[in-house]
Structure 1
Amino acid sequence: MKMIKKIEQPDAKFDLYFMGYDSPKAVSHGNDFSDREGLIELTHNYGTENDPNYKVTTGNAEPHKGFGHTCISVDNIQAACKRIEDAGYKFQKKLTDGRMRHIAFALDPDGYWVEIISQNPIDKTENITTTDLATYRMNHTMIRVKDHEKSLKFYQDVFGMTLMRTSENKDAKFNLYFLGYPGSKGVSTESVNGVNPTADREGLLELTWNYGTESDANFKYHNGNDEPQGFGHICVSVDDLDAACKRFEDQGVNWKKRLTDGRMKNVAFVLDPDNYWIEVIQNEKLKNRANW
């Protein structure tokens, strides 16, 4: 990835780094950071790097499960995983681990999981030793949800997303739902590698629902912003920020921050059914407003 934009906030003692793929082969090459799918925003609070006791919660360990992982799709998954391993990075799951031999999970320096999936049939890439980073995609972000029906309705009705793929895993008692904005590609129906028909996309949202959680009145997921902190939010850019926020207000959403709250008048935060934060910003290509 490349750093697409950096926003420094020295008064508040934190900086923001927006990372994404930006080669000429990238989906959003050259676009403003607000006019892209599939960015990762890294937030650095000053001084944490010098605190030996500081660590983030990754969302994958009890009792603070919630956020699961980010995911990149690659051209040749075997070669891509070897490249990452040769660079000295650790894996939560290698391709050869377990039953699922078509995905891997690398660990970033904070222990966050990064899923790696293939854009091509994996039986045709096993003997290829090279990988082209310019073809990589920031494919999706995964969060766990308590009630799949409520969450699917929320992201489709409130944020206008389309359910692009459902993966049922009845034996393991969980389902996966992939949502996104179809754009010119429409909704994929044919599988790329026998498992994942959306591997060539960017900026999808994966919801993981474990059977039965919706029936437990005391069950809830950790949103990453309550202590201990880790995952912060997903973000959607819109054509008209003021109009979008008025629409959200008319729909009766739960707000973490309205546009009029606080000093930052260029961002709002909506809460989803599990209290995950969804940042809403202006797409600067469609309407110059924020002047980031």
Structure 2
Amino acid sequence: MGLKQRKCLKHASFYFSISSPFFKQRQIYRRSNNRKERWGKKLIKRIEHAGIMVKNLEKSIAFYTDIIGFQLLGRLDHPNGRIKIAFIGTEGTDGTQIELLEGYNDSLPAEGKVHHLALKVDGIEEEIARLKEAGVRFIDEEITTLPNGSRYMFFEGPDGEWLELFETN
């Protein structure tokens, strides 16, 4: 088992990165000051949400709920008074949510550092047909098949954001 230790000067803490055949992915832990805790607690528990800046919150909520099939999980206004926020996601709140933000910064380009948001589906052909019937614009003309058998196709959201239908074997 490989163990690497790195000191974070800002917080004067030690972080451990553990990789072994037993972990599917590298785990990051913080050393605990409590002597009873040998390794401390995992720092990152899961991805909570991904934020998408939108021009029209109501239009985006309608797209993601009526066409894509997500549920509206909640709304709130930012304390600054300019930003309106909505959270959408799948059934149950244990999964990663999507945060729609209106009024954040309209001058930012639609294409940024985040390339796309992938949506896992069963039956990609049926989903493509359903979305095309709803008038959704597709970026790809054909489904792409990866060497592992997974298949995907990109389409656009209401503000030009790239979304991906992704089907695994």
| TM-score tier (shorter) | 0.5 to 0.7
| SS of alignment partner, residue 138 of structure 2 | strand
Q: Which structure: greater strand fraction?
A: 2
| Matched pairs, number | 135
Q: Which amino acid aligns with 2:116?
A: H
Instruction: Tell me which residue corresponds to 2:27.
Output: none
| SS of alignment partner, residue 102 of structure 2 | strand
CA deviation after TM superposition for structure 1 residue 267, in Å: 1.2
- Stretches of structure 2 that go unaligned for 5 or more consecutive residues are 1-7, 16-32, 146-150
CA deviation after TM superposition for structure 1 residue 258, in Å: 3.4
Choose from 220, 223, 227 the match for 2:110.
Answer: 223
Instruction: Tell me which residue corresponds to 1:234.
Output: 117
Q: Which amino acid aligns with 1:222?
A: P
Instruction: Tell me which residue corresponds to 1:279.
Output: 164
Distance 2:10 2:126 in 1: 44
Alpha carbons of structure 1 residues 157 and 259: separation in structure 2 relative to 1, 3 Å:
farther
Alpha carbons of structure 1 residues 173 and 236: separation in structure 2 relative to 1, 3 Å:
same
Choose from 257, 278, 290 the match for 2:140.
Answer: 257
Distance 1:223 1:157 in 2: 22
* TM-superposition CA deviations, 1:208-258 (whole Å, max 9, x none): 1118x8xxxxx554222xxxx521010101111111111111111011113
1:203 to 2:90 alignment? no
Distance 1:87 1:276 in 2: 38
Instruction: Tell me which residue corresponds to 2:18.
Output: none
Choose from 59, 70, 86 the match for 1:177.
Answer: 86
Instruction: Tell me which residue corresponds to 1:139.
Output: 48
Percent identical residues = 23
- Partners of 1:146 and 1:220 within 8 A in 2: no
Displaced runs of 4+ in structure 1, greater than 4 A? 82-85, 128-131
* TM-superposition CA deviations, 1:30-89 (whole Å, max 9, x none): xxxxxxxxxxxxxxxxxxxxxxxxxxxxxxxxxxxxxxxxxxxxxxxxxxxx9994359x
- Partners of 1:180 and 1:204 within 8 A in 2: yes
Alpha carbons of structure 1 residues 272 and 220: separation in structure 2 relative to 1, 3 Å:
farther
1:270 to 2:163 alignment? no
Cα RMSD (Å) = 3.0
- Partners of 1:137 and 1:202 within 8 A in 2: no
Question: Mean Cα displacement is larger for which, 136-145 or 162-171?
Answer: 162-171
- Stretches of structure 1 that go unaligned for 5 or more consecutive residues are 1-81, 89-127, 186-197, 214-218
